[in-house]
Amino acid sequence: MNSAPLVALVGNPNAGKSALFNALTGARQKVGNYPGVTVERKSGRMALPDGRPIELVDLPGTYSLDPASPDEQVTRDVVVGKQEGERLPSALVVVLDATNLDNHLRFALQLIALGLPVVIALNMIDMAKRDGLTIDVAALSKALGVQVVETVAVRRLGMDELKTALATVVGDGTRTVRAGAPPEHDIVTLQRRARAIAVAATQEESLERRWTHRLDAVALHPVSGPILLAVILFVMFQAVFSWSEAPVGWIEAGFAWAQDAVRSVLPAGILRSLLVDGVIAGIGSVLVFLPLILILFLFILVLEASGYMVRAAFLMDRVMAGVGLSGRAFIPLLSSFACAIPGIMATRTIDDPKDRLTTILIAPLMTCSARLPVYAVIIGAFIPAREVGLGVGLQGLVLFGLYVTGIVAAMIAAFVIRRTIAKGESAGFMMEMPRYQMPVFRDVAIGLMQRAWIFLHRAGTLILLATVLLWALLSFPQSPTGRDQVRYSAAGRIASGLETIVRPIGFNHEIALAIIPAMAAREVAVSALATVYAIEGADEVQTERSLVGRLRGRWSLPTALAFLMWFVFAPQCLSTIAVIRRETNGWKWPLFSLAYLFGLAYLAAGFTFWAATALGL
């Protein structure tokens, strides 16, 4: 019979519980410098200074006793005595990371409120000293109403003091302590109390730490944190449209001038059509979006450099874990906002193969920068540039919505994939919280130049090639007079075949034409439409020369919305498929990606079209 009193080590992930367990019991539990190392119960024996034996159990780290979250269930059940086959602990050793006091105190307050005898191990004191942080242990102990012992678990410092403190709170084994249900403190109240206690107990800290703390108090706050994140993203998408208006106008004017110049020097004919309708109309229609891409990346780069991006990851952690993704998936998914290719390659840092596969399969749903020209041209043409109140522009709002749709779709896809084809548990979050920093101008500038170069390079090679090829297929064979050149052309006839498939989801002949070459790169959809309408309108009086203007008169709103939804999902990028093939060593997963993404694209576009039509839009 096991009569030794049970003592549980509890605390936030990465506080040093396992290191402390090892120091106290002489065991060799795995410790690791990231949260979520301990995932199962582990117990060992230790003796108090008076010789009494104790059974010590090392629990997985958790952030709270929140009953809603299944990963916190085990710890919660153990400390309230509901875990099957487990006795109610006689005492708790609550392990706190001294360098992260306010966050860890929140959980400690919940644990103390349970009513079990508690000793606090104020761990990582060495790190706190290094950071110039001095904590008033007596004040902390008084504020919490329990004993607080300073420890450095990895160097076994403070172990005797901890054992002595434990001896005073652990009963002789005959008296049973009853733990009540944790009081229903709301998280905000707890956080505020934790902060107040932490601030009062902190005697000294560096200016930098103080600032990081102040900013994090807002940025990581359970309520203000997500609001701040939403506001930042929101401002970002507003800026993409409002700041780019002027430069987009200049670039448009530049290309219009170039078309006029070519027209005035070249006689009507094949060469003039190639330059005006093919090269200039096609490339110009894509290049006008350079300012939008640069503004978007200016925000992303500044957020990364400042240290905020990791906080955003932190806020998203719950959601990611909820759908079965590991915390390590965050960086690959974040890179996929630039382009899925580096994103998919970055999944190599994920050890678990099923975790990695899931991340690879959903990465193409993150809105890559190649989608931005497509979104921007349709939004520019069909979403009025008006305010919906409070200075919020409707166009930016729709763009924001498209990005969110991609993210939500990715999360749902991950949820399904993790429960079907790549079943498994999700690993915990693994990220160090860096200090806040002023972004370095030079780094941001270099980052922007790189993005601009990638974009211009694509426009000058891949997109130019696809556009010229399409121009040729659209211009030949030449139709007899009176027949529609676009439909008569080789490309037009190919598109007519596809048109029968996409007509039910509201797509017209030109869209069918544009989405075929867009397999090379999504932006080609824009240059292709520009070329189609340039050729089609070659004989018309040029009233409306920008693609936006031409689209406006020709597409219905439901068609435009369906087209947007198509691009949220469609895997219109052969390079991504090729990278998936390379990273998964075979054709199975790239083909699966093509099938499920095209399937989703078709359904999403279809439902959008039918719903918009039914609503009379």
Ligand X SMILES: Nc1nc2c(ncn2[C@@H]2O[C@H](COP(=O)(O)OP(=O)(O)OP(=O)(O)O)[C@@H](O)[C@H]2O)c(=O)[nH]1
DSSP letters along 325-381, please? --GGGHHHHHHTTT-HHHHHHHGGG--SHHHHHHHHHHGGGS--TTHHHHHHHHHHH
Angle between helices 574-584 and 353-362 (to 10 degrees): 170
Span near ligand X by CB under 6 A; candidates 30-38, 210-218, 455-463, 485-493: 30-38
Residue whose C-alpha is closest to residue 59's, from 107, 93, 101: 93
- Angstrom distance (rounded) from CA 592 to CA 531: 32
**Three-state secondary structure readout of 184-239:** CCCHHHHHHHHHHHHHHHEEECCHHHHHHHHHHHHHCCCCHHHHHHHHHHHHHHHH
Task: State the nearest-atom distance from the C-beta of 36 to ligand X, in Å.
Answer: 5
Query: For residue 511, what are the CA distances in angstroms to 59, 423, 533, 567?
Result: 57, 38, 11, 12
Please tell me whether residue 37 binds Mg ion under the rule CB under 5 A: yes
Out of ligand X, Mg ion, none, what residue 33 binds, judged by CB under 5 to 8 A for its kind, is: ligand X
Span near Mg ion by CB under 5 A; candidates 18-26, 223-231, 501-509, 534-542: 18-26
- Angstrom distance (rounded) from CA 276 to CA 141: 78
Q: Residues 19, 109, 170, 612: which binds ligand X (CB under 6 A)?
A: 19
Site string for ligand X, 135-174 (x = CB under 6 A): -----------------xxx--------------------
Q: Residues 6, 42, 54, 60: which binds ligand X (CB under 6 A)?
A: 60
Please tell me whether residue 38 binds Mg ion under the rule CB under 5 A: yes
Q: What is the total count of residues that contact Mg ion (CB under 5 A)?
A: 4
Q: Residues 17, 163, 221, 311: which binds ligand X (CB under 6 A)?
A: 17
Q: Residues 5, 10, 18, 513: which binds Mg ion (CB under 5 A)?
A: 18
Nearer to ligand X, 55 or 536 (CB): 55
The residue behind tokens 């990963």 is: 71
- In DSSP terms, 8 is beta-bridged to 57, 92
- Angstrom distance (rounded) from CA 280 to CA 289: 14
Please tell me whether residue 26 binds ligand X under the rule CB under 6 A: no
Out of ligand X, Mg ion, none, what residue 153 binds, judged by CB under 5 to 8 A for its kind, is: ligand X
Q: Which of residues 74-133 bind ligand X (CB under 6 A)?
A: 123-124, 126-127
Q: Which of residues 291-350 bind ligand X (CB under 6 A)?
A: none
Backbone φ and ψ for 53, nearest 5 degrees, come out as: -80, 150
Please tell me whether residue 606 binds ligand X under the rule CB under 6 A: no
Please tell me whether residue 15 binds ligand X under the rule CB under 6 A: yes
Q: 75 near 116, Cβ under 8 Å?
A: no
Q: Residues 5, 13, 380, 571: which binds ligand X (CB under 6 A)?
A: 13
Q: Residues 32, 132, 497, 504: which binds ligand X (CB under 6 A)?
A: 32
- Angstrom distance (rounded) from CA 141 to CA 414: 45
Query: Quick one: tokens of 348?
Result: 């190599």
Name the residues that contact ligand X, by CB under 6 A: 13-19, 31-33, 35-38, 60-61, 123-124, 126-127, 152-154
Name the residues that contact Mg ion, by CB under 5 A: 17-18, 37-38
